[in-house]
Structure 1
């Protein structure tokens, strides 16, 4: 396999460097962009599996520089992160999410690039236990865990570059779909129902979340590449709250059977964000309507893929 320095990439002006390409979200973003005619150069941690992939360690500034100088992308979408809230290594949140992002942005500048858009994924978790009901981008951040704190720190760092690069920061709320890791809430629930398990153990059943379909999220990211949104912070969300009880109810209807739901105190987080529902106003204003996919349809899609 050719080394990074030996690779030759297409020269058309629609090249996207996509970090986290093999992650849950990255696979859908890649498919969405390629279907729209973009050439996606996927940044991977391990060995490349295809011709349009490069090895990228975002914790290494030198490696980031080499990749930027070789690929010279027209767009950058940065999804790579430690994203599981309960990840055991606290330091990794900051090393990867903050310093890794800094290295990537610094490398863009050091390579003398002028990309048309740099999209950096943050998280709605930065809002914490906000009491505002439907949360707009103007809501003051109140992070309550290390994941959210690392993402907020990343945002502040990224904003120092907004006068030099056309950066947009996204704050995705919860989303799901086929291929999401089984330790996340909805895949866990779907798996229990499709296996016809007798019992499921969950945490707080009254927690409310704004769940989107990952395919809608991918469309939103493409829209943000194609519209004038440089310097903006944008929620990616549906604006529709669902309590865990609601999701269990939908799955009962889809699967056609009742499961014994037990609340396990070990799954109830001390710093649990009780309600997290986003405003879609700014996103719709920037890129138009996205044809939101109802959660029931997403759940049926996930069930059919089992």
Structure 2
């Protein structure tokens, strides 16, 4: 029998893009998964709880007594119009969850907080490791870095693990993100696509690889107290991503650079050094970007 069979896990943001894959990953490995989210839902194990409601969070944690908490609930689209919302959800919402978790009768074995590689900003180039000086360049990134600093106040009360995922994608990601936008144009066989800088190289992972690594981190007690980059360590330019889609679909598309999408002083190459995670977890079989694109295009 698996050591995780029947282990109780709570996933926040269970209806989100990552949350749905996280649940599937945990259930596949024998976990009893419950989830919370802000929208109504009727599925087994789901609780509608807003992260602004500390008392409701306390009640759910008292009822579920999770051994693992994976906190994915966040406002993640950088272009979201209201800056205040980033801080209400990503910072204050996380603080409320930690407060409620710390006051539980039964302390979880691990609490994983999903931060973001956006905390590194756009000024450091090359393969960034966890020691790279943060330089957040937008309210989303600032809210995530503030969340990390706030969480450090709870390290003596809770077994925390912080992840900093670089870009990742997959079926079901919102169309306002870059890869889904490109895929959508090919699925519709559009003649033209407007993008920003085409010759910048970025690190892309598959959501299925990301949730696989999250599960492994919560299962390793040695991860407690650590901060880990989640990345592929391989970079592709947007021009290369488009070329892969052309090859996979047989459809040619005209590339146009829209000045409105071009960021000034954008670093040419940005990837995640994931050697800390590999040192703890060993080597893993990451889904290659070509296979992710093939899956999304299908």
Q: TM-score range by the shorter chain?
A: over 0.9
Instruction: Give yes or no for the alignment of 1:262 onto 2:265.
Output: no
Q: Cα RMSD (Å) of the superposition?
A: 1.4
1:282 to 262, 271, 276: 276
Is the 8 Å Cα contact of residues 90 and 143 (structure 2) preserved in structure 1? yes
SS in 2 for 1:48: coil
Query: 1:200 & 1:94 partners in 2: Cα distance?
Result: 33
1:250 to 244, 258, 271: 244
- CA shift, 1:270, in A, is 4.9
1:299 to 284, 287, 293: 293
1:156-305 maps to which residues of 2 (within 5 A)?
156-227=149-220, 228-270=222-264, 274-304=268-298
Query: 1:183 & 1:216 partners in 2: Cα distance?
Result: 22
- CA shift, 1:265, in A, is 1.4
Aligned to 2:41: 48
Normalising by structure 1, we get a TM-score of 0.92
Normalising by structure 2, we get a TM-score of 0.95
Aligned to 1:9: none
Aligned to 1:64: 57
SS in 2 for 1:160: helix
- CA shift, 1:122, in A, is 0.2
Select between 295-304 and 281-290 the one with higher mean Cα deviation. 281-290
- CA shift, 1:272, in A, is 5.1
SS in 1 for 2:143: helix
Query: 2:233 & 2:64 partners in 1: Cα distance?
Result: 37
Query: 1:271 & 1:229 partners in 2: Cα distance?
Result: 36
Instruction: Give yes or no for the alignment of 1:149 onto 2:165.
Output: no
Aligned to 1:114: 107
Instruction: Give yes or no for the alignment of 1:32 onto 2:25.
Output: yes
1:291/1:258 CA distance change after superposition, 3 Å: same
Where do 5+ consecutive residues of structure 2 fail to align? none
CA offset digits 1:180-233 (Å, max 9, x no partner)? 111111111011112110111111112321100110001001101111200000
Query: 2:189 & 2:80 partners in 1: Cα distance?
Result: 29
1:274/1:68 CA distance change after superposition, 3 Å: farther
- CA shift, 1:48, in A, is 2.4
Is the 8 Å Cα contact of residues 208 and 244 (structure 1) preserved in structure 2? yes
Select between 187-196 and 125-134 the one with higher mean Cα deviation. 125-134
1:89/1:156 CA distance change after superposition, 3 Å: same
- CA shift, 1:61, in A, is 1.5
CA offset digits 1:117-155 (Å, max 9, x no partner)? 000000000001243511111111010111100000000
1:97 to 90, 94, 99: 90
CA offset digits 1:5-46 (Å, max 9, x no partner)? xxxxxxx86111100111110111100000000011011212
Is the 8 Å Cα contact of residues 128 and 273 (structure 1) preserved in structure 2? no
Where do 5+ consecutive residues of structure 1 fail to align? 1-11
- CA shift, 1:255, in A, is 1.3
- CA shift, 1:246, in A, is 1.1
Query: 1:93 & 1:290 partners in 2: Cα distance?
Result: 33
How many residues end up aligned between the 2 structures? 293
